[in-house]
A and B are shown apart, each in its own frame.
Chain A
Amino acid sequence: MREHTEALAPPRALWVPFMLGRPFGAPGDAAFQRKVLIAALGLLERDAGPVLEDFPENAALDARPAPAGLVCPVAFPVLPKAGSLVQDLIDEVTQLNAWHDVAVKYRGRSTLGVTGLAIMDIVSHLEAWLSGGPPSWVVPGLSQGETLKHACDELRAFYLEAKAMQPGLHSSDSLQRWFWLETVAGEALLKIREIAANSANASAKAVAVQSIVPRVVEGWLNQRSAQAHAATPGKENPLLQGE
């Protein structure tokens, strides 16, 4: 945030116009990252400050196609929803596992591994929350809230890494919207937030309030509710009902 840097006035700072989470601008674009890095390091040669300089270029458009030529090794039929959120989540994760395998092979890495839990163990932990209360176990060394928080983030990372391999255009925004508005996992995390916020466990309650669902998602959910409301016959304008 330029406004934060202006307030703190560090000796040398480069402001960059990139989205939060991408201080070097463009994943997979070494030449662009190098430009940003050299611009930042170049400030070391200034003789007087504080210096707050603007990086002059935007990052390339975020929406890019998935890598070409990837073949998902297992073709799953789209399963009908079982009706239970837990079972639907398990089915969804099972299907996505094949795409996640592709991601690991293509990228040579995965960012999972914060909790040390396998993906189905993460699902199992979240399943206990969906069943109404704190699970009977936590990751050693972590509180109930920290275990919940990192389990939620790892589930989201699993989905995003898998989705990025599927054919089509993907961007940070489209991946987030897909996860929160279209997947069972997104629905499950929203439900878990509600359950954890009302639990007696202080650490889980704190996490639920601000560390499971991004602020931007609240706006999307409100928009979706408004659209659903407007699409319901007789509910276009609540003020006119009964006339």
Chain B
Amino acid sequence: MVRLADLSDADRDNMLKKVPTLPRFDARPFVRGPALEKRRVAIVSTAGLHIRGDKPFGSGNAAMDYRVIPGYIEASELVMSHMSVNFDRSGFQEDWNVVFPLDRLNELAKEGVIGSVAEYHYSFMGAVSPVTNYEPKANELAAHLLNDKVDAVLLTPV
């Protein structure tokens, strides 16, 4: 997220014109769960991240696919192939945690602030409109998260 005032005129206009096109959801489930120190947390990013060697993100129906990022991955293995050029990448180039805070999450687990870190994390490329096109893949992913005993997801847009 970002301040509108910090964007260029063209970027600001582009962001604002999307607002009326966003879906409004009638159902607003609000789920409560265990205390934070008992939660198992996964990251689901929309930054177009994947392991080097995985198929890069692209266009068409494949744009809604997600990539699997194992929890044991090293920073040197993670790359970004988001189709958008309209966001900063120099931060990610310097430090993956600014986009994918796995080191920070592992630290919190070690200190007992959260219960544990999921075995797998995931990334979409968040550039598809309408966002409801992601629903089938989101449902598929939810099943994987449940099987991994995940009960907290950190959704990180870029």
Contact = CB atoms under 8 A, between A and B. Distances in A.
Contact of A164 (B41, B83, B90, B103): B90
A242 interface: no
Interface stretch (A69-77, A119-127, A141-149): A141-149
B2 A45 contact: no
A243 interface: no
B146 interface: no
A27 B91 contact: yes
Interface in B21-73: 22-25, 28-33, 35-36, 39, 41, 52-53, 55-56, 58-59
Interface residues of A, number: 75
Interface string B92-125: 1111011101011101100001100000000000
B36 A1 contact: no
A21 B1 contact: no
Nearest to B107: A34
A90 interface: no
Interface in A176-234: 176, 203, 206, 211-216, 218-219
A1 B1 contact: yes
Interface residues of B, number: 73
Most chain B CB neighbours (cut-off 10 Å) among A4, A143, A170: A4
B4 interface: yes
Contacts of B23: 8
A45 B6 contact: no
B30 A11 contact: yes
Given A142-B56, A215-B14, A172 B90 contact: yes
Interface string A59-82: 000000000000000000000000
A102 interface: no
16 contacts: A4-B19, A8-B25, A15-B1, A20-B87, A21-B88, A21-B92, A21-B99, A24-B101, A24-B104, A28-B95, A33-B104, A41-B113, A110-B93, A142-B56, A216-B10, A219-B9
